[in-house]
């Protein structure tokens, strides 16, 4: 029965496993965080490569020589394609001059000017290194500007790993870290109105992603009029509106995801796609908060490195020239439509949610999520790097041919899963 289906021999990972055995001796967890294997949570470790050796364009190769069309893009930084030649040339030219020096390069000013020109709600830009550096700066700015303490979070949030943005039951977090955090559901305006009213004069800021691109749940776009009413409520209650655009930024709209959804944030946090993998993040914001940011004690060793600024200028310029967000809608729609069809052909219901540039997938026929993991594992072992319960990322080097190959493998993988579960009732 499987003879016709297993047209592709699945990958094996002996070199990845050997490197991981070394890693576990000298690195906590071997590989920590979202890039590491999380047995039983995301995917079976044995089905995935753990270490890469090379990357180019839309692809990477693991340490066993297996090739992948990559739909994770380094969890976001790869927006133009790995090793984009224009970005690499700009970065290399800057590196010939200087990178980290005692006083900054004036290219920092060029990059700030470009962001102010590109991002609709930006009157200024402040550069740092992690997305979390900018979310922390945004929250401190909101507190300094309002002299209030409370911060509203939207349930399902992720704003980095600083203690103030973790949960009380996470190791290393103490109750004082999260004592002034308030929580509300996304798209729930009545709840937000109640929260603002109950805490009138106490709320410094509201921090939110532009839409909910959380893990383990279908991604959720804002309801019509949602953001406009949030903006109005923030104005009414004097609350600083912070958009964490670290994940979606420059993939939906080069003018910012707040612009995409038709409102203006007070502060916008950028990172990942800002410089095609070169290490930089930026907080952008309105003129009215510029002096407050200036008053804070906030800096870091590498924050004025010149090479990432050069890479950032080249990245934003090329994203503009390509109109990359439009390209992502086109390719992402082609891909997700095709994946849903491939599922249906094999009697499965695949749900795609979120923006096409950051699509989230779920096989709806099994609430345990195990069926979904099984399908993803079959894809990965055949050179299509998807992940199980996290949104994906598109890059501009991806071609229609890549998508065609992806759909072939996805179809084959659905067939294998169907053959493994012949008794599971096909979805209608």
Provide, rounded to whole angstroms, the least separation between the CB of residue 16 and a copy of itself: 8
Among 7, 109, 168, 401, which residue sits at the site for a copy of itself (rule: CB under 8 A)? 109
Interacting span for a copy of itself (CB under 8 A) from 43-51, 195-203, 262-270, 362-370: 43-51
Interacting span for a copy of itself (CB under 8 A) from 67-75, 183-191, 371-379, 397-405: 67-75
Rg (CA), the chain: 22
- Interface characters, 136-155, with a copy of itself (x: CB under 8 A): x--xxx-xx----x------
C-beta of 5 vs 357, nearer to a copy of itself: 357
How many angstroms separate the CA atoms of 265 and 259, rounded? 9
Provide, rounded to whole angstroms, the least separation between the CB of residue 307 and a copy of itself: 9
How many angstroms separate the CA atoms of 329 and 327, rounded? 5
Contact between 68 and 239 under an 8 Å Cβ cutoff? The reply is no
Among 6, 45, 52, 420, which residue sits at the site for a copy of itself (rule: CB under 8 A)? 52
- Interface characters, 278-317, with a copy of itself (x: CB under 8 A): -x----------xxxxxxxxxxxxxxxx--x---------
Among 42, 58, 76, 245, which residue sits at the site for a copy of itself (rule: CB under 8 A)? 76
Provide, rounded to whole angstroms, the least separation between the CB of residue 129 and a copy of itself: 5
Query: What is the total count of residues that contact a copy of itself (CB under 8 A)?
Result: 106
Among 5, 43, 55, 358, which residue sits at the site for a copy of itself (rule: CB under 8 A)? 55
C-beta of 85 vs 262, nearer to a copy of itself: 85
Query: Which of 357, 359, 361 minimizes the C-alpha distance to 373?
Result: 361
C-beta of 308 vs 415, nearer to a copy of itself: 308
How many angstroms separate the CA atoms of 234 and 299, rounded? 28
- Interface characters, 355-394, with a copy of itself (x: CB under 8 A): ------------------------------x---------
**Cα dist from 386 to 182, 373, 378, 409, 410, whole Å:** 34, 10, 10, 11, 10
How many angstroms separate the CA atoms of 355 and 220, rounded? 9
Provide, rounded to whole angstroms, the least separation between the CB of residue 226 and a copy of itself: 27
Contact between 306 and 154 under an 8 Å Cβ cutoff? The reply is no
Provide, rounded to whole angstroms, the least separation between the CB of residue 225 and a copy of itself: 32
C-beta of 5 vs 119, nearer to a copy of itself: 119
How many angstroms separate the CA atoms of 337 and 97, rounded? 47
How many angstroms separate the CA atoms of 27 and 35, rounded? 13
Q: Which of residues 111-140 bind a copy of itself (CB under 8 A)?
A: 112-113, 115-116, 123-126, 129-133, 136, 139-140
Please report whether residue 51 would count as binding a copy of itself according to CB under 8 A: yes
How many angstroms separate the CA atoms of 310 and 111, rounded? 8
HSE-CB at 21 with a 13 A cutoff on CA atoms is: 5
Among 5, 11, 57, 62, which residue sits at the site for a copy of itself (rule: CB under 8 A)? 62
Query: Which of 133, 109, 142 minimizes the C-alpha distance to 293?
Result: 142
Among 120, 173, 364, 424, which residue sits at the site for a copy of itself (rule: CB under 8 A)? 173
How many angstroms separate the CA atoms of 360 and 156, rounded? 15
Please report whether residue 74 would count as binding a copy of itself according to CB under 8 A: yes
Give the three-class secondary structure for 61. strand
- Which residues have C-beta within 8 Å of that of residue 401, sequence separation ≥ 6? none
C-beta of 48 vs 414, nearer to a copy of itself: 48
Show the DSSP H helices in 368-399 as ranges. 370-380
Provide, rounded to whole angstroms, the least separation between the CB of residue 128 and a copy of itself: 8
Among 162, 189, 351, 424, which residue sits at the site for a copy of itself (rule: CB under 8 A)? 162
Query: Which of 316, 346, 348, 353 minimizes the C-alpha distance to 332?
Result: 353
C-beta of 83 vs 338, nearer to a copy of itself: 83
Provide, rounded to whole angstroms, the least separation between the CB of residue 407 and a copy of itself: 20
Query: Which of 234, 311, 262 minimizes the C-alpha distance to 120?
Result: 262
């Amino acid at each position: 029965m499987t003879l016709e289906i297993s047209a592709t021999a699945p990958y094996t990972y002996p070199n990845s496993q050997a490197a991981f055995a070394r890693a576990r001796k000298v690195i906590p967890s071997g590989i920590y965080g979202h890039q590491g294997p999380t047995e039983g949570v995301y995917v079976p470790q044995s089905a995935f490569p753990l270490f890469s050796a090379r990357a180019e364009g839309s692809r990477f190769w693991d340490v066993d020589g297996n090739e992948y069309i990559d739909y994770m893009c380094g969890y976001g930084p790869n927006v133009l394609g790995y090793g984009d030649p224009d970005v690499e040339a700009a970065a290399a030219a800057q590196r010939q001059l200087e990178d980290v020096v005692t006083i900054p390069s004036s290219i920092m000013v060029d990059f700030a000017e470009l962001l102010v020109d590109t991002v609709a709600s930006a009157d200024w830009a402040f550069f740092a290194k992690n997305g979390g550096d900018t979310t922390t700066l945004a929250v401190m700015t909101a507190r300094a500007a309002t002299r209030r303490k409370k911060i509203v979070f939207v349930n399902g949030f992720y704003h980095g790993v600083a203690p103030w943005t973790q949960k009380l039951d996470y190791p290393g977090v103490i109750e004082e870290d999260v004592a002034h955090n308030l929580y509300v559901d996304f798209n729930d305006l009545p709840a937000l109105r109640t929260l603002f009213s109950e805490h009138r004069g106490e709320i410094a800021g509201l921090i939110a992603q532009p839409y909910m691109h959380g893990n383990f749940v279908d991604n959720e776009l804002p309801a019509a009029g949602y953001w406009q009413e949030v903006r109005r409520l923030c104005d009414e209650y004097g609350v600083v509106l912070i958009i964490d655009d670290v994940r979606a930024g420059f993939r939906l709209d080069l003018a910012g995801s707040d612009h995409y959804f038709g409102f203006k944030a007070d502060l916008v946090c950028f990172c990942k796609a800002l410089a095609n993998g070169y290490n930089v993040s930026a907080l952008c914001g309105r003129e009215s908060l510029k002096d407050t940011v200036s008053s804070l004690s906030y800096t870091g060793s590498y924050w004025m490195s010149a090479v990432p600024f050069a890479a950032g200028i080249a990245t934003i310029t090329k994203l503009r020239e390509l109109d990359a967000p439009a390209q992502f809608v086109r390719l992402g729609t082609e891909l997700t439509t095709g994946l849903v069809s491939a599922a249906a052909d094999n009697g499965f219901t695949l749900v795609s949610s979120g923006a096409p540039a950051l699509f989230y997938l779920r096989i709806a026929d099994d609430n345990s999520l195990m069926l979904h993991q099984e399908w993803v594992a079959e894809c990965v072992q055949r050179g299509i790097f998807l992940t199980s319960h996290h949104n994906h990322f598109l890059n501009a080097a991806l071609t229609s041919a890549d998508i065609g190959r992806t759909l072939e493998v996805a179809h084959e993988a659905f067939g294998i899963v169907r053959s493994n579960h012949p008794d599971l009732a096909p979805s209608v």
